[in-house]
């Protein structure tokens, strides 16, 4: 009997594993809709707006890919995923692309068999504490109770940071950002740690953001980016070059306002012409329409526009471009040439 139960479990797991197809692009085109995994809610990055439409900096990646592949930025079906469910959902084929502030690490890329298609936000892990606590540095946190989202690199960085500084802490594992916020505000933990962008986004939603302080220490590198399943290079290329198109568009001065103009006829700059499909066949090489990048920029916007709209300094979240400025402005954003 035990044996049959064992086999039954194996069988159920086998069914869940599903069919991971290698023709994601064809599947998405046939379906007419992109399945995209996002977070369960993080202000500025992925959140449902007043009309119930998903919006945000990470969501924009999904919309851009949909615009590139299907010509329609609204043809996306969003699946909100927690930190624990995200990789299983992507590996099993439930979502085609995961755009969910996920850190690019060696083991995720190599061992978990995913392919990161670039970095859409250069981040680092920080700490937020109540101003009342009077803490000015993360090195004063010995003995603190720390809220963390489980199943994240944050969890591992935290363990490493406290161990290397000979400090002790009490972890409070939490499933989603919303729960963490509730626990933190109730005082069930002294400190909340996650990516600095996430801290800024979370703090912006507080009743009194000034009562909380983000500590100066950034204890890790967290390059966040969209990822796809390993083994389907064509689909990986589509997502990678969609992101690159948004970054290159900002560098080349193409915005959602002037893209239709610029795409109507070939201009003086050959790279703009190639990107917008007025010269060459870049779109066809990707297996897309030649005006794929025009759709992305006109419907979603270039990188800078998306940044300003959702998380930039004019928004309540108020993140500066910092590392996420163009390389020409001293940042790390650097798209390979469209050639």
Partner 1 sequence: MATMTDPPSEGFRISQLIYDTRYRSITIQVVAFILIMAGLVWLVDNTIHNLSVLGKDFNFGFLGQRSGYDINQRLVEYSNNSTHGRAALVGILNTLLVAVLGCITATVLGVIAGVLRLSNNWVISKLMTVYVEGFRNIPLLLWIIVIFAVMTEGTPQPRDFREGGTASMIAFESVAVSNRGIYIPNIVFTRSLGGNETAEVDGATQVVPAAAPVDWFLVLALIVGGVFVARFIERKATATQEATGVRPPGTFWKKLGVIVLPTLILFVILGATLDVPRIGGFNFTGGIQLRNSLIALWFALSLYTGAFIAEIVRGGILAVSKGQTEAAFALGLRPSRTMNLVILPQAMRVIIPPLISQYLNLTKNSSLAIAVGYMDVRSTLGGITINQTGRELEGMLLLGLFYLVTSLVISGALNLYNNSVKLKER
Element (H, E) at 79: strand 76-81
Q: Counting contacts by CB under 8 A, is residue 265 touching partner 1?
A: no
Touching partner 1, residues 139-158 (CB under 8 A): 141-145, 150-151, 155-156, 158
Are 199 and 128 within 8 A, CB to CB?
Answer: yes
Are 218 and 125 within 8 A, CB to CB?
Answer: yes
Are 77 and 136 within 8 A, CB to CB?
Answer: no
Touching partner 1, residues 231-260 (CB under 8 A): 231
Touching partner 1, residues 167-196 (CB under 8 A): 169-175, 182-183, 186-190
Site string for partner 1, 32-71 (x = CB under 8 A): ----------------------------------------
Residue closer to partner 1 (CB basis): 20 or 214: 20
The region of 3-11, 39-47, 197-205, 303-311 touching partner 1 under the rule CB under 8 A is 3-11
Q: Counting contacts by CB under 8 A, is residue 264 touching partner 1?
A: no
Q: How far apart are CA 84 and CA 196, in angstroms?
A: 20
- Residue 325's contacts (CB-CB under 8 Å, 6 or more residues apart) are 331, 332, 333
Q: Counting contacts by CB under 8 A, is residue 6 touching partner 1?
A: yes
Give the dihedral sign, CA 114/291/297/336: positive
Under DSSP, is residue 125 helix (H, G, I), strand (E, B) or coil? Answer: strand
The CB-of-307 to partner 1 minimum distance in angstroms stands at 29
Q: Counting contacts by CB under 8 A, is residue 281 touching partner 1?
A: no
Q: How far apart are CA 132 and CA 183, in angstroms?
A: 16
Q: Counting contacts by CB under 8 A, is residue 80 touching partner 1?
A: no
Reading the block at residue 260, the tokens are 């239709």
The region of 42-50, 79-87, 96-104, 306-314 touching partner 1 under the rule CB under 8 A is 79-87
Which of 23, 49, 74, 84 binds partner 1 (CB under 8 A)? It is 84
Site string for partner 1, 213-232 (x = CB under 8 A): ----------------xxx-
The region of 4-12, 65-73, 203-211, 328-336 touching partner 1 under the rule CB under 8 A is 4-12
Alpha helices in the chain (DSSP H): 2-17, 24-31, 57-70, 86-91, 106-110, 153-164, 177-186, 196-204, 233-251, 259-264, 270-276, 282-286, 292-299, 303-310
Q: What is the DSSP secondary structure assignment for residue 168, as one 8-state letter?
A: -
State the virtual CA torsion across 271, 336, 245, 108 in degrees, nearest 10.
170
The region of 70-78, 109-117, 201-209, 268-276 touching partner 1 under the rule CB under 8 A is 109-117
In the complex, which residues of this chain contact partner 1 (CB under 8 A)?
A: 2, 5-7, 9-11, 13-15, 17-20, 83-84, 87-88, 91, 107-108, 111-113, 132-133, 141-145, 150-151, 155-156, 158-160, 163, 169-175, 182-183, 186-190, 229-231
């Amino acid at each position: 009997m035990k044996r049959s139960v064992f086999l039954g479990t194996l069988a159920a797991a086998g069914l869940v594993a599903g069919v991971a197809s290698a023709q994601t692009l064809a599947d998405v085109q046939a379906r007419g809709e992109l399945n995209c995994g996002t977070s369960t809610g993080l202000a500025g990055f992925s959140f449902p707006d007043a009309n119930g439409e998903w919006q945000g900096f990470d969501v924009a990646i999904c919309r851009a890919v949909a615009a590139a592949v299907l010509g329609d930025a609204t043809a996306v079906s969003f699946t909100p995923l927690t930190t624990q469910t995200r990789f299983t959902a992507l590996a099993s084929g439930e979502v085609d692309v995961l755009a969910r502030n996920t850190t690019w690490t060696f083991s995720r890329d190599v061992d978990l068999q995913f392919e990161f298609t670039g970095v859409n936000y250069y981040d680092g892990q920080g700490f937020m504490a109540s101003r009342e606590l009077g803490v000015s540095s993360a090195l004063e946190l010995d003995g603190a109770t720390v809220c963390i989202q489980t199943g994240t690199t944050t969890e591992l960085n935290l363990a490493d940071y406290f161990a290397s500084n000979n400090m002790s802490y009490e972890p409070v594992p939490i499933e989603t950002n919303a729960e963490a916020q509730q626990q933190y505000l109730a005082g069930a933990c002294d400190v909340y740690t996650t990516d600095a962008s996430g801290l800024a986004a979370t703090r912006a939603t507080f009743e009194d953001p000034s009562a909380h302080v983000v500590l100066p220490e950034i204890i890790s590198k967290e390059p966040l980016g969209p990822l796809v399943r390993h083994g389907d290079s064509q689909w990986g290329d589509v997502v990678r070059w969609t992101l690159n198109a948004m970054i290159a568009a900002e560098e080349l001065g193409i915005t959602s306002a002037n893209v239709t103009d610029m795409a109507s006829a070939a201009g003086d700059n050959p790279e703009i012409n190639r990107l917008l499909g007025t010269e060459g066949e870049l779109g066809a090489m990707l297996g897309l329409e030649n005006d794929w990048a025009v759709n992305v920029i006109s419907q979603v916007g270039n990188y800078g526009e998306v940044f300003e709209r959702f998380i930039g300094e004019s928004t309540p979240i108020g993140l500066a471009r910092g590392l996420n400025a163009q390389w020409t402005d001293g940042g790390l954003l650097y798209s390979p040439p469209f050639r």
